[in-house]
Structure 1
Amino acid sequence: MKDVIYDDFQNAVNDSLLRHKSILDILTKLGESSARINRAVAKSTTNCGCIEVNAKKQELNMDENSDLSSLKASLSTHLEGELCDSCRYIIEKEIGNNLFYLTSLCNLLNLNLYDILLREYDKINTLGKYTFR
């Protein structure tokens, strides 16, 4: 059933893309939408203040008794606070635009978004913590 949602979304994107049919248009719009996500997150910090970024060097305190769980627990996201409703709405909108152009790229290259998601999901489940991204 879930694959139907992805296929429907991919078909809807294909039907609604009019102005930016060129691969060059789609690639540049995808890059632009990624930048707009970055900008929206930055503005949540600098303009709104609902989140704060407190970044510093990640300290990896590994010894012979350490395991991956303790390593993961020792790493920080550098993020404090929660998105306010306004910032959440803007970031969700920008991520939606990014998904639109990513799906448009898949359509032009005759790639199935659901199949890509499944392969990535299988890789994560197979390798587990050892994917190290």
Structure 2
Amino acid sequence: MKDIIVDDFQNAVSESLLRHKSIVDIITKLSESSSRINRAVAKSVTNCGCISIEAHKQEIPDGVSLDEVSDLLKYQIEGTLCDNCREVLEEEIGTNLYYLASLCDALDLNLFDVLIKEYDKIRTLGKFSLL
């Protein structure tokens, strides 16, 4: 069922592409949408203040197992997104997904297949997938 939703989304994106049908347009719009997500997070901190970033070096004590590390590491975000900031971020992330689906369509890739391959890799490698 979920594959149908992702495939339907990719098909809807493909049918709606008119102005940005060029691969150059798609990759630049994808990059721009990523920047807009970053900007929306920054504005949640600097303009709204609903969240704050408490960034510092995350220490991992000696002798800690890999399973224990995930409990020790934090996202370093304090607070929660207000309704307005949440709405803006959901819209920006949605736009990013739109251009990601556009890129997949342009390159004859199936977004669901890409998602499943990444999911399988994470399930197989677990915590080792990004080390």
Give the TM-score of the pair, scaled to structure 2: 0.96
Consecutive unaligned residues of structure 1, counting only runs of 5 or more, are none
Question: Does the 8 Å CA contact 1:33/1:94 hold for their aligned counterparts?
Answer: yes
| 1:75 pairs with one of 66, 73, 76 | 73
Q: Secondary structure of the equivalent of 1:96?
A: helix
Match of 1:44 in 2: 44
Q: Secondary structure of the equivalent of 1:52?
A: strand
Consecutive unaligned residues of structure 2, counting only runs of 5 or more, are none
Match of 1:62 in 2: 62
Match of 2:86 in 1: 88
Q: Between Structure 1 and Structure 2, how many residues are aligned?
A: 131
Within 2, Cα distance between the matches of 1:19 and 1:79? 37
Give the TM-score of the pair, scaled to structure 1: 0.95
The structure 1 segments of at least 4 consecutive aligned residues displaced by more than 3 Å after TM superposition are none
Identical counterparts, % of pairs: 62
Match of 1:125 in 2: 123
Q: Give 1:132 shift.
A: 3.1
Question: Does the 8 Å CA contact 1:62/1:71 hold for their aligned counterparts?
Answer: no
- 1:71-103 per-residue CA deviation (whole Å, 9 max, x = no partner) reads 112212110100000000000000000000000
Question: Does the 8 Å CA contact 1:27/1:105 hold for their aligned counterparts?
Answer: yes
Within 2, Cα distance between the matches of 1:112 and 1:28? 20
Match of 1:11 in 2: 11
